[in-house]
A and B are shown apart, each in its own frame.
Chain A
Amino acid sequence: MKPAKPFILLGFALLFAAIYLFPLYWMYVTALKSGSEIFAFPPSFWPTDPQWQFGRIFAEHAMDRYLWNSLLIAVGTTVLATLIGTGAAYALSRHRNIWTAVALFLVLMLQVLPPSLMVTPIFVAFSQVGLLETPRAAVVLAQTAKVLPLYIVLCRSTFLQVPRELEDAARVDGASRIGAFLRIMIPLARNGILVVSVLIFLQSFGEYVYSRSLIAAETLQTATVGLSSFMGPNTNDWAGIMTYAAIYVTPILIVFALLQRRIVSGLTAGALK
């Protein structure tokens, strides 16, 4: 490869990124357009008369309630998956034998199950045992089962990077297994655990299938379901819909931008190893 023309390459890179990110740009631009400007043809690529309707859409569509429900479900899922998954990830990183191979295989197999197919038996079973009485908790339980395998796989690769000698030293000094785990291994793997938790938090914050299928009461619905009911069959308020979408995804994009580098490295380490 010749070292020439790096700035031409940079130009192309920016062009590719601009083309790829056009849908995001279009969401924000449409959100700022007026009700009549969105139906202009040819469409305008910059709002001629920018409208600031974020507050109105937020209030009219009860987004505080929807976002609160999404947040509850995402927090619940993240906490539950972290509690259950961290220890398993640690234990699976310590040994390499037939049993850990079997456990890892099981975890990987359960990671791939499509939620839209799993939701049928989950719905029936949950309604039989009465879990649908507390629908948000039901979504948390189902969504945790969905993200837990990914959490374990990614977290395990974090624990693999912690030198085992540090734990052994603590054990020689008299720490119990659980003491060494809580006071040595978890602090050392803290950054990795945090990144993986953020990742499953963001995923659960955008969850749709389980919320749509398991939650009947509208007041308990999540922001995804709110958006899909906003997009009813005869809707024309695309400026409003894009405003809703922008309010919903902007925090996700900000969190992601802050942690982007780490999320990428954590993700790639887990998916290929």
Chain B
Amino acid sequence: MTSAQIRQSMTDRSVNSHPARVATAPSPYPLPQGEGEDIGQARPPRRPTLHRIPLLRTLRDGSGFDVVLVLCAVGYLLVFAAFPLVYTLVMSLQQVDMFSLASFDRPFAGLDNYRDVFARPEALQILKNTVIFVVLSITFQLSIGFGLALFFQQPFPGATYIRGVFLAGWIMPALVVGAIWKWILAGDFGVLNYALASLHLTGGKIFWLSDPDVALFAVIIANIWLGIPFNMILLSVGLAAIPRDLYEAAEIDGARAGRRFLHITLPMMRSTLGSVVSLGIIFTLQQFDLIAAMTKGGPANASNVAQYWSWQMSFETYEISAGSVVAVLMVALVILVAALYVRSTEREHAA
């Protein structure tokens, strides 16, 4: 069935079944009392007067019930997610610091905060770091995750079980992951430096967390580790959905593995890849705990990224307007990526 047909059949059902329901069960009963009744037990007494109150009837028997349920959740999200969003925007245009924090009437600053943030000497570096952080994280998470997904697609004993073991990395609190990596990457006693040295890959010890040239890459390594399982599992799902007979037909036609990958796997995976990349960008821009645990953005902002910078300004130096400016810009970026993601999944369903 196409989605249009499904929609059609759904509307048919609701149109047809509703009068039937009213005919068989004409017992409009006020909602609170109806809660505890047992199905199939004696019907509640008729209350013809209440029957005429459409609001109660739709709550008990109609789609008013659904509307109330959705409104509870949407209302919560409006108060605790959408309102803060608007509030950041407002604060980014105001002068907010420790003194005006509690007041509702703060001086209006217009776009001065934005100019101030962009004029800061660290702004350009942090912007650059954020781009490097996202691009490298996504590239390696995706390629390693894709490689592992393809590998575990092959039939061998224990494939699904061993693949599941990888998710241990995904469920770990990111702060703990950051702590472990900080220890692995330690300069003098770190096990990674030892491994690199014994493989003769590096001349001396790399001071991963205190050398400004590599601190950002240290955080990226940990973030790649954290993102691999998620990428791998989503891509595995996409791979499993490709019909086997496509590969069989290609094999009969004499296509080699490389060509089968290029001409079947990649085109069939396009929408999955799109989703995984956009989700990866979203999660990478949410990454805070790793940086807090490993470098705190240092040394001298060498590993600082926008989402951490915003928090630092708000909670360490109490420049709340400046923190809000960065938050507004980053949230706008994240929402843009998310909108692209939702649109791509919708197109996938329409097809």
Taking the closest CB of chain B, its distance from the CB of A22, in whole angstroms, is: 8
- For chain A, the bracket of interface size reads 35 or more
Whether, in the assembled complex, B136 has its beta carbon less than 8 Å from a beta carbon of chain A, the answer is no
Smallest CB-CB separation from B225: which chain A residue? A23
User: Which residues of chain A are within 8 angstroms of B66 by Cβ–Cβ distance?
Assistant: 90-91, 94-95
* Chain B 173-188 per-residue mask, 1 if CB under 8 angstroms from chain A, else 0: 1111101111110101
Chain A: interface secondary structure?
Answer: helix
User: Which residues of chain B are within 8 angstroms of A177 by Cβ–Cβ distance?
Assistant: 59-62, 65
Q: Count of chain B residues with Cβ under 8 Å from any Cβ of A?
A: 121
**B183 and A108 contact, CB distance less than 8 A:** no
Taking the closest CB of chain B, its distance from the CB of A217, in whole angstroms, is: 16
**A13 and B311 contact, CB distance less than 8 A:** no
Smallest CB-CB separation from B281: which chain A residue? A112
Inter-chain CA distance A224–B63, complex, in Å, is 43
User: Which residues of chain A are within 8 angstroms of B179 by Cβ–Cβ distance?
Assistant: 227-228, 231, 241-242, 245
Inter-chain CA distance A103–B326, complex, in Å, is 27
**A7 and B84 contact, CB distance less than 8 A:** no
Whether, in the assembled complex, B262 has its beta carbon less than 8 Å from a beta carbon of chain A, the answer is no
* Chain B 126-153 per-residue mask, 1 if CB under 8 angstroms from chain A, else 0: 0000000000000000000000100110
Whether, in the assembled complex, B162 has its beta carbon less than 8 Å from a beta carbon of chain A, the answer is yes
The one of B17, B168, B342 that contacts A24, using a Cβ cutoff of 8 Å: B168
User: Which residues of chain B are within 8 angstroms of A257 by Cβ–Cβ distance?
Assistant: 168
Taking the closest CB of chain B, its distance from the CB of A91, in whole angstroms, is: 4
Smallest CB-CB separation from A214: which chain B residue? B315
Whether, in the assembled complex, A59 has its beta carbon less than 8 Å from a beta carbon of chain B, the answer is no
How many A-B contacts at CB < 8 Å in the complex? 339
User: Which residues of chain B are within 8 angstroms of A39 by Cβ–Cβ distance?
Assistant: 188-189
User: Which residues of chain A are within 8 angstroms of B151 by Cβ–Cβ distance?
Assistant: 9, 12-13, 16
* 10 smallest beta-carbon distances between A and B, as pairs: A206-B173, A88-B73, A87-B69, A145-B80, A91-B66, A117-B327, A121-B84, A6-B156, A9-B156, A116-B288
Could you write out 18 A-B pairs with CB less than 8 Å apart?
A1-B155, A9-B154, A9-B156, A39-B188, A87-B70, A91-B66, A106-B77, A115-B286, A118-B327, A120-B315, A125-B84, A178-B65, A179-B34, A209-B288, A252-B171, A256-B168, A260-B167, A271-B234
Interface residues of B (CB under 8 A from A): 6-7, 10, 13, 17, 20-21, 24-25, 27, 29, 31, 34-35, 37-40, 43, 59-63, 65-67, 69-70, 72-74, 76-77, 80-85, 87-88, 91, 96, 101-102, 104, 148, 151-152, 154-159, 162-169, 171-177, 179-184, 186, 188-189, 191, 194, 198, 225, 228, 233-234, 237-238, 247, 272, 275, 279, 282, 285-286, 288-289, 292-293, 307-308, 310-311, 314-315, 320, 323-324, 326-327, 330-331, 334-335, 337-339, 342, 345, 349
